[in-house]
Structure 1
């Protein structure tokens, strides 16, 4: 499940991912990305993971295609989690975008929020 967090504004998209992401979850983000890009801005994405176990295959494929089609539209991505594999996903994403991507442990949520807004 993907929840849009309250500090989503301007060119910042803030989300919390829990359990598995589905294709419907990915569809929630697409209009937000387009609104930012259509205003001539770059996307900054705060992606918090809590009890997150990954993507269902079709959602993963849709997410990867969306990321590839918007590779130049991201400025920063803050990945916040508490598992080693989540840090690995952060590293895996780097070749697919020109964005600056950083991983933050769950205890560093406030630091991640500050960084994404700078």
Structure 2
């Protein structure tokens, strides 16, 4: 039996008064605890913004999926802040990740795309920043 590896990193950068870049990298399955870390950080970054726009760089290359409770957390995050998401660039190449990207657009106000290379994703995010 193989050893299970889980990792989750997040960074948030404010760009000006109304824009936030959320960078995520996940390994293994996303867990409820990951959202307990992410959500307060994001809410803090958005505090005081009147019309925030959130751009996301999500490195999914080592992501294996979501635990059920984490999937629920993801849905709640999308329902609460979905209209604030401007661009979501996902880095991955698995077929299920492409499907997740398409489904994700149902819950955000902006655009989501999947890229095989991180550099391509960053270039797309910078186009309108």
Common fold by TM > 0.5: yes
Runs of 4+ in 1 over 4 A off after TM superposition: none
Equivalences for residues 17-96 of structure 1 within 5 A? 17-40=26-49, 41-96=52-107
Greater Rg over alpha carbons, structure = 2
Instruction: Name the SS of the counterpart of 1:77 in structure 2.
Output: strand
Normalising by structure 2, we get a TM-score of 0.80
Structure 2 CA distance, aligned partners of 1:115 and 1:36?
Answer: 22
Structure 1: give runs of 5+ residues left out of the alignment. none
Number of aligned positions between the proteins: 114
Spell out, residue by residue over 1:65-101, the C-alpha distance to the aligned partner (whole angstroms, 9 max, x if none): 1111111121111111120110110001111111211
Cα RMSD of the aligned pairs, angstroms, is: 1.5
Could you tell me which residue of structure 1 aligns to residue 8 of structure 2? Answer: 2
